[in-house]
Structure 1
Amino acid sequence: MSEIYIETCVKADIHKVFDLARDIDLHQQSVSKSREKAIAGRTSGLIEENETVTWRAKHLGVYQTHTSKIVSMEKPYQFTDIMLEGTFKSLKHQHIFKEKEGFTLMIDKFEFESPFGIIGKLFNRFFLTNYLRNFLLERNAVIKKTAEL
């Protein structure tokens, strides 16, 4: 299992940051490089607990489909999504929000496992972890910019 941990400081109210992080429309804007589009389940607005969304995106030159489900949510402090179907062997993304003086700390705990045993582990270590970290950082930059307007 590989893990990515990211902290992003946002000068905005925790409720605003929480809602922007689960906004399907903003997500699609933030990852436009991969042409990510919500194609089934919740396809617009704010995703809620027990809802699913199916994404279609071009990653590494190949179109892929990925279905996630929000398995827990405690507004405005956390929500967690897991992959139900997709390319990974497993994927879990915890979104955690903490109120600080004058800002919100947004934390991503992103755990994933690639298929293909040792080959998948090597691919994670030497390429995929950095690719996914950059993907999340770009997404967070859009959330931060939008929240701080």
Structure 2
Amino acid sequence: MTGFEIVTHVMAPPERVFDVSLDVDVHAASMAGSSEQAVGGVTAGALRLGDTVTWRARHFGVHWRMTSVISAYDRPDLFVDEQVSGPFERWHHVHRFRPDGRGGTAMSDVIEFAAPFGPVGGIAERLVLRRYMAELIEARNRYVKKVAETTPTAG
């Protein structure tokens, strides 16, 4: 199993960053490079505790499906998404949101995952997947930051 943590500073309150991070449409837009889209479960709007979403995406030239569930939800402090079915042996993603003392939020992503295929999957985790997944999360977080820091329009 492999894990990593990414911390992103966002100049918006934790409540706003939390809500933006749980928005299916924001997530899909942040992953446009991999053509990720929600195709089952909650396919638009905000996710809540117990909600599932099935994502379809293209990574490494292959189409994948992954269904995840929001298994913990404590607004505005944290939520957890975990794979129910999909390409990983295990996927566990803790999202934390803490005031940064400067009027913004320290958004932390703690991810643990395991590739399938035993020892071969373990090698793929270390050689390719860890870096690839971290880059995906960083790209997603740049998009979340941009949306959260933009004042929503009325109406």
Alignment TM-score, normalising by the size of structure 2:
0.95
Q: Which residue of 1 aligns with 2:153?
A: none
Task: Give runs of aligned pairs for residues 14-33 of structure 1, distance below 5 A.
Answer: 14-33=14-33
Q: Which residue of 2 aligns with 1:126?
A: 127
Unaligned runs of 5+ in 2: 151-155
Percent of pairs with identical residues:
38
Q: Which residue of 2 aligns with 1:113?
A: 114
> Aligned AA for 1:147?
A
Could you give the per-residue CA deviations for residues 22-66 of structure 1, whole angstroms, max 9, x where no partner exists? 000000000000000100100000000000000000011000000
Q: Distance in 2 between matches of 1:115 and 1:29?
A: 28
Unaligned runs of 5+ in 1: none
> Aligned AA for 1:123?
A
Q: Distance in 1 between matches of 2:68 and 2:144?
A: 20
> Aligned AA for 2:39?
I
Q: Distance in 1 between matches of 2:40 and 2:142?
A: 26
Q: Distance in 2 between matches of 1:146 and 1:44?
A: 16
Q: Please state whether the residue corresponding to 1:71 is helix, strand or coil.
A: strand
TM-superposed CA distance for 1:100, in Å, is: 2.0
Alignment TM-score, normalising by the size of structure 1:
0.98
TM-superposed CA distance for 1:118, in Å, is: 1.1
> Aligned AA for 1:128?
L
Q: Which residue of 2 aligns with 1:103?
A: 104
CA RMSD across the alignment: 0.6
Q: Distance in 2 between matches of 1:55 and 1:117?
A: 24
Task: Give runs of aligned pairs for residues 1-149 of structure 1, distance below 5 A.
Answer: 1-101=1-101, 102-149=103-150
Question: After the TM superposition, which segments of 4 or more aligned residues of structure 1 sit over 2 Å from their partners?
Answer: none
